Amino acid sequence: MEKYIDRKYVIELFNTYQEYSGRVILNDISLRIRKGEFVTIVGPTGCGKSTMLRMVLGSERPSRGVAAMEANIIKRPDRRRGIVFQKYSLFDFMNVRDNVMFGLELEQFSLAHIWIRKILPFVYRKRVKKFREEADHFLEKVGLLDHADKYPHQLSGGQRQRVAIAQAMIMKPQILLMDEPLGALDVGTREAMQIFIQELWGQTEQTILFITHDLEEAIFMGTRLIVLSQYYQNGGSNGSKIVQDIKIPWSQPRPTTIKHTKEFNDIMEGIRHTGLDPRHLQNIRDFNIQHEDALCSVEKYGDN
């Protein structure tokens, strides 16, 4: 294991398995994520994308293998890994600004501070003002400064997700995990949000692990694409493996017009055929794992 550990990688998974009561969900996943990369993970329903994300996040431990962040085994969720869920990322009982500055408050104030502030509202005013300014800075970045005093239920779905992104980004996490953040949005909002997240990534060089079930979105957004699928053998009973791990050729930010180019469609068709088609039983040698950071090479599976 030691020989793989490298400072330029944020997240490393080594031969991780995840089993629920004997049923294998993830079968021998190995993965390294380089700093500053925008990794998208795509796969059919029930392939264990979210399970993998939870392993990286720390809310689940792999049943075998190692999930590590900067050479430390991941034990529980902490502030170095931010998360944006599809739903329930925001706290309904606070307004947008408080939601965004909540992380700073949690980190720098203890419960005693909060109770003292409840009794004497004027103490710690300077620190709170600093939090507020920083929250406003992030809200401006996501373009929602005008809505800072609203409650989450007064916002639209896209706005809510943008607040959730600001809420996670304010902690400056090493890696930002996104679990189908655009899954509940309509087509127009979705495209706008795709461009927005790409721009944000371009500005901040934040490492992002982005999970989606939409192939087009995955190819369009990431710099590296990982396809997770259970349909490579035996009709999906063996648990998921990484069946594709490729570098996306275009530089970011990308215009939405590339979605209609031939090259884009070729990549899409290829993945659809090899990774996501349940009828397409294939040999492990056919996996397209050419990314430079990929750990599971064709040679490794040679004996299968």
Q: Which positions lie near other proteins, rule CB under 8 A?
A: 57, 59, 76-79, 81-83, 85, 87-89, 91-94, 102-103, 106-107, 110-111, 114, 151-153, 167-168, 171, 173
Helices (H) and strands (E) in the chain, counts: 8, 11
Task: State in angstroms the smallest separation of the CB of 257 from other proteins.
Answer: 36
Contact yes or no for 272/42 (Cβ under 8 A): no
Sign of CA dihedral 271, 304, 231, 235: positive
Task: State in angstroms the smallest separation of the CB of 204 from other proteins.
Answer: 17
Nearer to other proteins, 58 or 239 (CB): 58
Nearer to other proteins, 58 or 222 (CB): 58
Report the alpha-carbon angle 276-11-223, nearest 5: 55
Nearer to other proteins, 18 or 223 (CB): 18
Task: State in angstroms the smallest separation of the CB of 70 from other proteins.
Answer: 16
Per DSSP, what are the bridge partners of residue 81? 175
Largest CA distance in the chain: 69
Distances (CA, A) of 72 to 1, 6, 9, 10, 225: 12, 12, 12, 10, 25
Task: State in angstroms the smallest separation of the CB of 117 from other proteins.
Answer: 12
Nearer to other proteins, 166 or 295 (CB): 166
Task: State in angstroms the smallest separation of the CB of 154 from other proteins.
Answer: 9
Nearer to other proteins, 151 or 250 (CB): 151
Phi, psi of 198 (to 5 degrees): -60, -45
Sign of CA dihedral 109, 112, 117, 123: negative
Nearer to other proteins, 79 or 137 (CB): 79
Contact yes or no for 103/59 (Cβ under 8 A): no
Task: State in angstroms the smallest separation of the CB of 111 from other proteins.
Answer: 6
